[in-house]
Amino acid sequence: MIRWILTLMIAACCSLGAFAQNNDKVEETPYIKMMGKADSAISNCDWEVDERCLRNAMRIEPANPANLLLLSNLGMVQFYQGQDSLALHTLTDACNIAPRTVPVLANRATVYEATGRYDEALADCNIILEIDSANVRARAMRINHNLRNGKIMEAEADLDTLLRYSPDNHLGNILAGNIYASTGRYSEAISPLSKVIEHDPQAEYYAVRALCRIMTGNLNDASIDIAEGLNINPLEGELYLYRAMLNKMRYRNDDAKKDAKRAIQLGISQQRALPFMK
């Protein structure tokens, strides 16, 4: 119900760059300088420059152990440039060098999931969780995998673990709202969704909370959520669908039909909108 928005990270490379820039005890070797340039390129999303700097750094000191993370981040830079196959080849090379290195596995799992290779992503996540059971990203990806395959109990078990390790985690609250709402536990979904909206007020999150409030009889607050969501994104079809539902409940049939038609125009299926057009 909540759209999954895949968050891509290259934190390891940023950390290496920050180390090179901020640690006064590190000698400003050509290798360190090149890492600093790569870090600057990341900040500007200049992926071509970043790729060149990463390659140059590894060429300057081919035996440096830090090259493993540089190689992993090179794979992500290739992915950001739309070079999916090349990115997976690079990341697999990095995994072959160090098969149980969490940042490397996490990067490859991210690319696998983004390219629809969910089973391979799950395999990497399982290894990560064997190494680090508190890894939020890997557990969240496994929750998504189980949700896609209708394994609600498995998803909820992972969610409970995630929230036990990190009760206020933003991603965990998104997943909690998703699972509770999709399984009809609307009242339970409202609290995590409210936490999500507080830190990241997106139209789709308002839409799900509006539905939960409609289903729990809180129509006034649902109406407010719909209005807030449409202020953020007036092209969010789910919001029009739920406003049609709300109008139908209030016997405003003409308004309900109008909103249902608008929802269809914005991509909502006719099957979902049909009950509000009668």
Radius of gyration of the chain (CA): 23
Alpha carbon distance 2, 209 (integer Å) = 10
User: What are the pLDDT digits (tens) for 99-131?
Assistant: 999 999 999 999 999 999 999 999 999 999 999
What DSSP designation does 8 have? P
What DSSP designation does 274 have? G
Q: Do residues 103 and 69 make contact, with C-beta atoms less than 8 angstroms apart?
A: yes
Q: Do residues 92 and 108 make contact, with C-beta atoms less than 8 angstroms apart?
A: yes
**Which pair of tokens denotes residue 270?**
């006719």
Percent of the chain with pLDDT over 70: 90
Residue 125: the pLDDT is: 97
Q: Which helix (H) or strand (E) holds 50?
A: helix 47-60
Q: Do residues 240 and 266 make contact, with C-beta atoms less than 8 angstroms apart?
A: yes
Question: What's the one-letter identity of residue 48?
Answer: E
Q: Do residues 54 and 74 make contact, with C-beta atoms less than 8 angstroms apart?
A: yes
Residue 27: the pLDDT is: 63
Phi, psi of 161 (to 5 degrees): -65, -45
Confidence of residue 44 (pLDDT cuts 50, 70, 90): confident
Question: What's the one-letter identity of residue 22?
Answer: N
- Is the pTM of the predicted complex or chain greater than 0.85? no
Residue 91: the pLDDT is: 97
Alpha carbon distance 136, 152 (integer Å) = 18
User: What are the pLDDT digits (tens) for 139-171?
Assistant: 999 999 998 898 999 999 999 999 888 888 898
